[in-house]
Chains A and B, each alone.
Chain A
Amino acid sequence: MPHLDTYLGLLHHAEQTLTDSFVTVGHGHQAEADVYHTCESLARMSLEHEKQLAPVVARYGEQRRGEDVEEPERLHAAGVAQVRAGAVGLLRDLQDLYLLATLVHSCWTVVLQAAQGARDRELIEIAQQCMEETSRQLTWIQTRIKVGAPQALLIAP
């Protein structure tokens, strides 16, 4: 498996970034009670994915960032370190979350394909479940963006 470890590293990093970003966005937008509480739940979900990766990483290893990594990350998704203010700021932050979750989703897609090729039942199961949960995260973000967009763009102070 010459390159699976590279992707596990990428995936692990992407999930970590997403976890942290859910926490940041949730806490930064506490006045939006639903965003605060849902981001908290979804951060837990991503954290759980990281834990589920552990046994797989134990078997395959992972390549993290550094000089000697094959196919280094060119798109640096640093995550949301600080939230923006206001209704439009919330929209933009949710869009950032959406991008990060999309990256996670596509990483799982790649890993799931590889897991099938490798006939790795454990990884297939983990990847299917985590991918499905990432879809749920995306669905919520999309739902929240759709609900808030007209008010934010047309009328918010």
Chain B
Amino acid sequence: MSKAEAAMDRIADIWGDRTPHDRATVWPARVDSYLADGITEAQVDRWVISACVLCSNGCGCDIAVKDGRMVGIRGRATDVVNHGRLGPKGLYGSIPFAASGDRLTRPLIRQDGELVETTWEAAMGRVVEVSQRLLREKGPLSHGFYTSGQLFLEEYYTLAIIGKAGIGTPHMDGNTRLCTATAAAAMKESFGCDGQPGSYTDIDWCDAIFLFGHNMPETQTVLWMRILDRLAGDQPPKIVCVDPRRTKVAEAAERTGGVHLAPLPGTNQALMNGLIRELIANSWHDREWVDAHTLGFDDLAATVEPYTPEHVGEICGIDPADLRRAAAIFGESERVLSTVLQGFYQSHQATAASVAVNNLHLLRGMIGKPGAGILQMNGQPTAQNNRECGADGDLPGFRNWDNEKHVQELAALWNVDPLVIPHWAPPTHAMQMMRYAEQGSISFLWISATNPVVSMPESARIRRILGGDQCFVVVQDLFLTETARLADVVLPASGWGEKTGTFTNVSRTVHLSDKAVDPPGEAKSDLDIFLLYAERMGFTDKDGAPLVRWRTPEEAFGAWQECSRGRPVDYTGLSYDKLRGPTGIAWPCNTQAPDGTDRLYTDPVFPTDTDQCENYGHDLLTGGTVTQQEHLAMNPAGRAFLKGAPYQPPHEQVSAEYPLLYSTGRTVYHFHTRTKTARAAALQQAAPDAWVELSETDATGLGIGEGDRVAVESPRGRIEVRARIGRVRPGAVFAPFHYGYWDLDAAGPDGGPARDANELTMTVWDPVSKQPLFKTAACRVTKIGDATGPASAPSTTASAPPDGRQLPATAGGEPTMSRIVTPTPDYPNDPSLGTDSPAPTTTIAGSQ
């Protein structure tokens, strides 16, 4: 091993060693890799290009294949996203699912109440028979499709055309509704259209980073490495953290002279109004820029006027001086980057608060310049494609359902009557689809690559809906998830590495993922499953030709490129060949930008024109839609919208009966409902079971100690888990949402103790983005049993005990390799191109 190469347990060292990174230089490259079973690089048969799908970051990688099996993974040094790095989930969790003994290998069909194995012919025959009967008897509105943030672009686009032009139902959404709907909604409200303004290279240039409800060290570990490397270099940025837990971000805020704001759950909008008010009151805004490039300043200023630091301090339970300090950092730094995630998206007034982040940037003209960016994040690896392709409550190509011209474009492209494409209202959102399924007016629901029984709010209700007779449920997945257990037909699908397709990350970067190995048994790619359904249903265009005119992923990609032509999300300059290396490429990519685009709105002209925009906007309080006439009257003419909303108290408030505020979230070692990560031994052992985090103050008051068994109850349900005396603010309780019942061989608690965090959450959603709110329920916690040891919560992350309390460090990953790459490769469109720091020859130990 050379001195630049280090073997490392990445369960213990989540972010690896530091490669210090000075401001306005290229981030050094470090290649992280992991090979299972003691296999060496020399023994690998071939490497297959891909990108990681265990978070939304989109790290370029290669899959190691030996003897027809996936045996490991290696980051791509030349990829703009990760410069070679991978996180612990990517390293340990990417491969093991594929060879897991409990993969679905044959279709299942429900007979006499039991799911039994069957043939594809019989399973698809049943699906088509029910589908055709319902179309005949009840029409297209009987059909709903609930998909994922995990499929590939080609699959979403195929599903979108099947649903919107084949069947003609508005009922199609993805679990992206649960993770990223607010990101899209906030961008539509402010900029007229979806499309990430910023780039990861903004981290390299900024002077301050604001993380709004974004526990990046756990949700996007590789992006956090980029920040940690800035903090280890010259001219490090100040960090400002908005989070009710003292996360690693909060600790970084303290170290860098930034601020940690820990507002009470449900009060983000008051905090944001306070920050905006400070910006205006101190004249830190750029009035000239605002006048030239935005609309709505006077209304916004009037809306935020009552939110003095003292008033905000009272609502949020924070020190007014901290709010002032945070506002001063935003107001006085030369370049500010903001990132936003679930702490805002899944909390009360989600869209309003996320729009407020956009407002802060617009007020200072902090957009479209290196280091002055916004990253409205996603939770899932392919969530972006679902938004682009319109399998999630949008129309394909960021088209506007309320713009007749946009609908006609799609109708012409697909050669169908525009009336077939439902556009009397926005496509139905997931929570409303579940309501229709509950009432039986949706009586055919096809769920692909997602597990709503565990991930949607109020689990008992979702189990009741999907387990009932009023709705025929098709589930397409890799495993017999909690949701699949309730289905009428289960279709075995191929996973990552077992099929070819493309997907796009948070920073608009498109990657190709080639097929590395065959899927097990009779499992089919999701694309092939959708194509099979389309063929058996006989969907045709208005001339009687097949509606879906492609058979392969590459052909589907070509069809999508045509759909994207001329839209902000232009893929026409891309191709599979171009995406085979050396790096993923960010859209728009067309003849004007053949190498893709690092950041949007450099002009700064926003896609707000009435003819161009993705929607006309909403009332942030109610979700009432702005009409085309009203939008025309505003004459946006390429200007962005400044939109405000007063703070409203959350829907469920604490009471004597339920005195604590309940919030759910992630741990670094798991993804979603652990479908893949629990099948990776290192990850599962790092966080084997559910827990709940309490502040020391609240725990003491309740007589609860570390590891005690507690009941957590809300008006909707109860879970029984171990208590971690943790780092949440007093008054708040945190529970990880990963733990359902599949590994207990059940769809639900079945009379035993429950542990799914969503047993307690509310059926409530944001009025604009329709994203369910997982972070604003009231609860109570009571001790029901003594500790036998500490809770199974990791001690390496935000679930660590408070300072001064020691617990054994979480560890146990097999050795992975990390290698510094010199010289640092050239990254296309990187604003620091040619100005890289002296490349380090050794890594610097001591990750944060």
Check if A34 sits within 8 Å of B765, measured CB to CB.
Answer: yes
Tell me whether B806 is interfacial, beta carbon within 8 Å.
no
* B residues near A150, Cβ cutoff 8 Å: 141, 170, 424-425
Whether A41 touches B435, Cβ cut-off 8 Å, given contacts A154-B141, A155-B138, is: no
Tell me whether B625 is interfacial, beta carbon within 8 Å.
yes
Tell me whether A78 is interfacial, beta carbon within 8 Å.
no
How far, in whole Å, are A151 and B622 apart by their CA atoms in the complex? 21
Check if A33 sits within 8 Å of B625, measured CB to CB.
Answer: no
Min CB distance B432 to A, Å, is: 8
Q: What per-residue 1/0 map shows which CB atoms of A39-65 lie under 8 Å from chain B?
A: 011100000000000000000000000
Q: Which one, A31, A34, A136, contacts B619 given CB within 8 A?
A: A136
Closest chain A residue to B626, Cβ basis: A139
Whether A139 touches B765, Cβ cut-off 8 Å, given contacts A87-B439, A155-B139, is: no
Check if A136 sits within 8 Å of B624, measured CB to CB.
Answer: yes
Tell me whether A142 is interfacial, beta carbon within 8 Å.
yes
Check if B622 sits within 8 Å of A41, measured CB to CB.
Answer: yes
Check if A139 sits within 8 Å of B622, measured CB to CB.
Answer: yes
Check if B141 sits within 8 Å of A155, measured CB to CB.
Answer: yes
Check if A37 sits within 8 Å of B651, measured CB to CB.
Answer: yes
Q: Which one, B425, B439, B651, B765, contacts A156 given CB within 8 A?
A: B439
Min CB distance A29 to B, Å, is: 11
How far, in whole Å, are A151 and B436 apart by their CA atoms in the complex? 9
How far, in whole Å, are A57 and B764 apart by their CA atoms in the complex? 38
Tell me whether B602 is interfacial, beta carbon within 8 Å.
no
How far, in whole Å, are A149 and B428 apart by their CA atoms in the complex? 12
Interface residues of A in 118-157 (CB under 8 A from B): 136-137, 139-140, 142-143, 146-147, 149-151, 154-157
Tell me whether B832 is interfacial, beta carbon within 8 Å.
no
Min CB distance A146 to B, Å, is: 5
Whether A41 touches B648, Cβ cut-off 8 Å, given contacts A34-B767, A139-B619, A154-B139, is: yes
* A residues near B440, Cβ cutoff 8 Å: 157
Tell me whether B763 is interfacial, beta carbon within 8 Å.
yes
* B residues near A136, Cβ cutoff 8 Å: 619, 621-622, 624
Tell me whether B208 is interfacial, beta carbon within 8 Å.
no
Check if A140 sits within 8 Å of B619, measured CB to CB.
Answer: yes
Tell me whether A38 is interfacial, beta carbon within 8 Å.
yes
Q: What per-residue 1/0 map shows which CB atoms of B757-775 lie under 8 Å from chain A?
A: 0000011110100000000
* A residues near B436, Cβ cutoff 8 Å: 151
How far, in whole Å, are A157 and B468 apart by their CA atoms in the complex? 16
Check if B425 sits within 8 Å of A147, measured CB to CB.
Answer: yes
Min CB distance A97 to B, Å, is: 13
Check if B624 sits within 8 Å of A151, measured CB to CB.
Answer: no
Min CB distance B155 to A, Å, is: 27
Check if A155 sits within 8 Å of B142, measured CB to CB.
Answer: yes
Interface residues of A in 52-108 (CB under 8 A from B): 87
Whether A143 touches B623, Cβ cut-off 8 Å, given contacts A33-B431, A33-B763, A38-B767, is: yes
How far, in whole Å, are A6 and B432 apart by their CA atoms in the complex? 44
Q: Which one, B424, B623, B625, B762, contacts A38 given CB within 8 A?
A: B623
* A residues near B439, Cβ cutoff 8 Å: 87, 156-157
Q: What per-residue 1/0 map shows which CB atoms of B71-106 lie under 8 Å from chain A?
A: 000000000000000000000000000000000000
**Interface of A: prevailing SS:** helix
Interface residues of B in 593-627 (CB under 8 A from A): 619, 621-625
Min CB distance B464 to A, Å, is: 13
Check if B624 sits within 8 Å of A87, measured CB to CB.
Answer: no
Closest chain B residue to A40, Cβ basis: B651
Whether A140 touches B622, Cβ cut-off 8 Å, given contacts A38-B767, A147-B425, is: yes
Q: Which one, A34, A37, A151, A157, contacts B141 given CB within 8 A?
A: A151
Q: Which one, B141, B621, B762, B763, contacts A41 given CB within 8 A?
A: B621
Interface residues of B in 143-197 (CB under 8 A from A): 170
Check if B441 sits within 8 Å of A87, measured CB to CB.
Answer: yes
Closest chain A residue to B630, Cβ basis: A139
* A residues near B648, Cβ cutoff 8 Å: 41
How far, in whole Å, are A142 and B618 apart by their CA atoms in the complex? 13
How far, in whole Å, are A37 and B763 apart by their CA atoms in the complex? 11
How far, in whole Å, are A41 and B624 apart by their CA atoms in the complex? 13
How far, in whole Å, are A148 and B780 apart by their CA atoms in the complex? 36
* B residues near A156, Cβ cutoff 8 Å: 439, 441
Check if A140 sits within 8 Å of B623, measured CB to CB.
Answer: yes
How far, in whole Å, are A39 and B319 apart by their CA atoms in the complex? 34
Whether A146 touches B425, Cβ cut-off 8 Å, given contacts A151-B441, A155-B142, is: yes
Min CB distance A31 to B, Å, is: 7
Min CB distance A28 to B, Å, is: 16
* B residues near A87, Cβ cutoff 8 Å: 439, 441
How far, in whole Å, are A146 and B623 apart by their CA atoms in the complex? 13
* A residues near B622, Cβ cutoff 8 Å: 38, 41-42, 136-137, 139-140, 143
Min CB distance A132 to B, Å, is: 11
How far, in whole Å, are A71 and B287 apart by their CA atoms in the complex? 52
* B residues near A137, Cβ cutoff 8 Å: 622
Q: What per-residue 1/0 map shows which CB atoms of B619-660 lie under 8 Å from chain A?
A: 101111100000000000000000000001001000000000
Q: What per-residue 1/0 map shows which CB atoms of B426-463 lie under 8 Å from chain A?
A: 10100110011001110000000000000000000000
Check if B441 sits within 8 Å of A139, measured CB to CB.
Answer: no
Highest count of chain A CB atoms <10 Å: which of B138, B139, B440, B624? B624
Q: What per-residue 1/0 map shows which CB atoms of B110-141 lie under 8 Å from chain A?
A: 00000000000000000000000000001101
How far, in whole Å, are A38 and B440 apart by their CA atoms in the complex? 24
Closest chain A residue to B141, Cβ basis: A155
Q: What per-residue 1/0 map shows which CB atoms of B291-307 lie under 8 Å from chain A?
A: 00000000000000000
Min CB distance A18 to B, Å, is: 15
Whether A143 touches B624, Cβ cut-off 8 Å, given contacts A37-B651, A151-B436, is: yes
* A residues near B441, Cβ cutoff 8 Å: 87, 151, 155-157
* B residues near A33, Cβ cutoff 8 Å: 431, 435, 762-765
* A residues near B142, Cβ cutoff 8 Å: 155
* B residues near A40, Cβ cutoff 8 Å: 651
Highest count of chain B CB atoms <10 Å: which of A41, A137, A142? A41
Min CB distance B425 to A, Å, is: 4
Closest chain B residue to A149, Cβ basis: B424
* A residues near B767, Cβ cutoff 8 Å: 34, 37-38
Highest count of chain B CB atoms <10 Å: which of A32, A37, A157? A37
Task: Give 27 A-B contacts (CB < 8 Å), ordered by A residue.
Answer: A32-B435, A33-B764, A34-B623, A37-B767, A38-B622, A38-B623, A41-B621, A41-B622, A87-B439, A87-B441, A136-B619, A139-B624, A140-B624, A143-B623, A143-B624, A143-B625, A146-B424, A146-B425, A150-B141, A150-B170, A151-B141, A151-B436, A151-B441, A154-B139, A155-B139, A156-B441, A157-B441
Starting from the known contacts A139-B619, A150-B170, 6 additional A-B residue pairs (CB-CB under 8 Å) come to A33-B431, A33-B435, A139-B625, A147-B425, A147-B426, A156-B439
| B contacts, CB < 8 Å to A | 138-139, 141-142, 170, 424-426, 428, 431-432, 435-436, 439-441, 619, 621-625, 648, 651, 762-765, 767
